Amino acid sequence: MAHDVFISYAKNDKPVADAVCAGLEAAGIRCWIAPRDIVPGTSWPRAIPPAISNSRVMVLIFSGHANASDNVIREVTLAAKANIPIIPLRIELVEPVGGLAFFLCMPHWLDALDEPLAAHIQRLCEVVAKLLPAKAPQPFHRAAASGAESASTPSVTDTRARLSLNTDPPGAAVPVNTALIPGLGATKINPIDGAEMVYVPAGEFTMGANDLRNAPEHRVYLDKYWIYKAPVTVAQYKASCAATKREMPDAPNWGWISDHPVVKVTWADATAYCEWAGVRLPTEAQWEKASRGTDARAFPWGNRWDGSRCANSAGRNNLSSTKPVRSYALGVSPCGALDMAGNVWEWCADWYGDYEARDLVRNPAGPKSGGARLLRGGAWSHAHGVNFRCAYRYFSEPTGRDGDDGFRCAGTELHFSH
């Protein structure tokens, strides 16, 4: 018999799982939950796989205990392989590690952190209903879940609740109708270094994500700007060094390859290149908007991690170096930029620090001082999708020279004519 929802949880989180089950079923959503629905005489290993394959959605009670549960990891793996949508209901402010990191790398939580659990169950009912074919839940009754949410149910305490669901089919990209965004996708060439630039119109976008490293999610307004379509290459950087008498950094293990992104550059090296090329480093906000567009997507191509769309070391890739820029056309961002996930971490202009706490921030430039500079985008040497999210923040001492650090440039109409 098919079920609407399979509830996956670690044994320490059973009180929450029971409350969630009661709330969903009170809204007319059929659930499968162990041990209640295991037929007597049937072993757990024999009962779980068919129960998952016969369900339309998985709700994962996500916590530190879930991170450490082999059973939860197996259940999530089975659901992912069967293309069953997974909704993590996070009850502790933790991020996925180990076996869960690969599948739960996107900011698509339904966080149950700050209100009574019943309030989040109501939202969960609404979300699940959208994923079920031609089915709407009955009105949620708090009383139905109140019995399960007793004194033994853990309280959920932290700062905020969030919902940004991952509902794309596996590997699918989120389309962008550029006709509806005047100017988006336009290109020009920087005559100094020959770099192709793409245009990003003025307007608002969603920046950040509600997790430990990248919080809070907030709205940002940016003036129009241009950004390099790809990272600065070895050939381009060599040309700048020849023109300015600046020394090349030591070559990486794989040597200097002309069409690969330059690496082992410090923040000052990147800034010096920008000055020579008549541009500058993008601010963190400019970099993120160019990467994710205005629909708050998790990755440049959409909301699902897809290691085939960027240079990374996940799975069988086994990369030992960077890749030529523009190698991953399917990883293109909404504005037409490439390599914004993978290949190299990219220096931004900002010092690392907390986001400004305002409802709408205009043209943020980050703190005025600090001990580390920001980098974005993830690098070839990383394997977990969490590092490649558009909102993921990484930082390093500005004097660092790593084999996976590079940069791209940005500019405005003040830098060159339109």
Residue-wise DSSP of 318-341: ---S---TT--GGG--TTS--SSS
Residues 134 and 197 in one domain: no
Pair 138, 274 in one domain = no
Looking at the structure, do residues 405 and 333 belong to the same domain, yes or no?
A: yes
The closest of 333, 336, 227 to 282, measured between CA atoms, is 227
Whole-angstrom Cα distance, residue 194 to residue 390?
A: 26
Got the DSSP string for 288-301? HHHHHTTTT-SBTT
> Do 67 and 212 fall into the same domain?
no
Q: Are strands 218-222 and 3-8 parallel, antiparallel or unpaired?
A: unpaired
pLDDT in tens, 70-121: 899 889 888 888 888 888 888 887 777 766 766 665 445 677 776 677 778 8
Residue 166 belongs to a domain: no
| 258: Cβ contacts below 8 Å, ≥ 6 apart | 233, 234, 235, 238
- 55 - beta bridge partners? 3
300, 333 contact by CB (below 8 A): yes
Instruction: Please list, in sequence order, all residues whose beta carbon lies within 8 angstroms of the beta carbon of residue 113, skipping any fewer than 6 positions away.
Output: 90, 91, 92, 93, 156, 157, 158, 159, 160, 161
- Using one digit for the tens of pLDDT, what is the confidence trace for 161-177? 222 333 344 445 665 65
What's the CATH code of the domain at 315? 3.90.1580.10
Q: Per residue of the chain (418 residues), what is the pLDDT tens digit?
A: 567 899 999 999 999 999 899 989 888 889 999 999 988 888 877 889 999 988 989 999 998 899 889 899 889 888 888 888 888 888 887 777 766 766 665 445 677 776 677 778 888 888 888 887 654 434 433 333 333 333 333 333 322 222 233 334 444 566 565 545 667 778 999 999 999 999 999 999 999 988 767 888 899 999 999 999 999 999 999 999 999 999 999 999 999 999 999 999 999 999 999 999 999 999 999 999 999 999 999 999 999 889 999 999 987 777 899 999 999 999 999 999 999 999 999 999 999 998 877 778 999 999 999 999 999 999 999 988 888 999 999 999 999 999 999 999 999 865 554 3
Q: What are phi and psi of 272, to 5 degrees?
A: -65, -40
Q: Measured in Å, how far apart are the chain's first and last C-alpha atoms?
A: 62
138 and 46 in a single domain? The answer is yes
Number of domains in the chain: 2
Dihedral (C-alpha) 326, 277, 237, 273: value to the nearest 10 degrees? -120
* Alpha-helix runs per DSSP H in 56-109: 64-67, 70-81
Last residue of a domain, one of 95, 124, 146: 146
Q: How far apart are alpha carbons 138 and 129 in whole angstroms? A: 10
337 and 209 in a common domain: yes
Are residues 226 and 102 located together in one domain of the fold?
no
CATH code for the domain in which residue 101 is found:
3.40.50.10140
What are the Cα distances from residue 83, in Å, to 108, 148, 185, 310, 415? 16, 30, 32, 21, 47
Q: For residue 35, is the peptide bond before it cis, meaning its omega torsion is within 30 degrees of 0?
A: yes
- What pLDDT score was predicted for residue 99? 66
Can you list the positions of beta strands (E) in 65-217? 86-90, 110-111, 187-189, 196-200, 203-207
What range does the domain containing 135 cover? Answer: 3-146
Same domain, 224 and 281: yes
Tally Cβ neighbours within 10 Å of residue 110.
Answer: 22
In a domain, 8, yes or no: yes
Rounded to 10 degrees, what is the CA torsion of 295, 6, 73, 155? 80
| Distance between CA atoms of residues 153 and 150, nearest Å | 5
pLDDT tens-place string over residues 377-407: 999 999 888 889 999 999 999 999 999 999 9
- Do residues 139 and 251 both lie within one domain? no
